Amino acid sequence: MKIGFTGTKDGCTEKQLKSLDKILKKLNQKYEYIEWHQGDCIGADADSTLLVAKNGYVQKIITHPPVNSSLRSYVIENNLKSFPNGIMIEVLEERDYLDRNKNIVKACTLLIVCPKEENEILRSGTWATYRNARKLNKNIIVIKPNGSLCKWPDDKLIQKFKRKVKNAKKENATTEANSEDPGSI
């Protein structure tokens, strides 16, 4: 599994980190191989990468660093000695924030989002990355500051879609049956 991560430069709340830890424990039990794609910014990127590495939840960490190093955490370089042996590290070419975030989304099968805000806003790299993942139909888990989770596609949305498909099939079957019945003319 390839997991992408995006979050606030202000760092994860304790509740976000607890929820993230629970999610990663479950994924670690389910998948033999997990890659962690992160943007190497201060705050949530660093918090989450330290959690992932120190607990051995992933086999490989892939850093997508920004060109602008003023907010870069250098979490790998600064903490490598404290990571368990065997974690593979790859640092990709520096990119501007927008391209870097798009590359994280393209690389992952699941995006985990830890925003500063409870609800989606404009003019936020974290939420722009979220919107890009939705546009590409990626699986997404948003961990809100209070630790609660939102998933995309939402379970309720999936059920609603399945009901629509089922109802459309019923309508088609009824229409076809009526068109074949000479008594319905």
Model confidence, pTM? 0.81
Query: Looking at per-residue confidence, does 105 or 83 come out higher?
Result: 105
Query: Looking at per-residue confidence, does 12 or 153 come out higher?
Result: 12
pLDDT of residue 86: 84
Does residue 142 sit in the same domain as residue 109? Answer: yes
Angle between helix axes 97-107 and 125-135 (nearest 10 degrees) is: 40
Its domain, for residue 106, covers 2-153
Percent of the chain with pLDDT over 70: 86
pLDDT of residue 182: 47
Q: How many domains, the chain?
A: 2
Res 185 pLDDT > 60: no
pLDDT of residue 179: 56
Does residue 34 sit in the same domain as residue 113? Answer: yes
CATH of the domain at 116: 3.40.50.450
Does residue 162 sit in the same domain as residue 75? Answer: no
Does residue 93 sit in the same domain as residue 164? Answer: no
Query: Looking at per-residue confidence, does 2 or 181 come out higher?
Result: 2
Does residue 79 sit in the same domain as residue 122? Answer: yes
Res 165 pLDDT > 70: no
Element housing 154 (H / E): none
Instruction: Extract the runs of DSSP E, i.e. beta strands, from the chain.
Output: 2-7, 35-38, 60-63, 88-91, 110-114, 139-143, 149-152
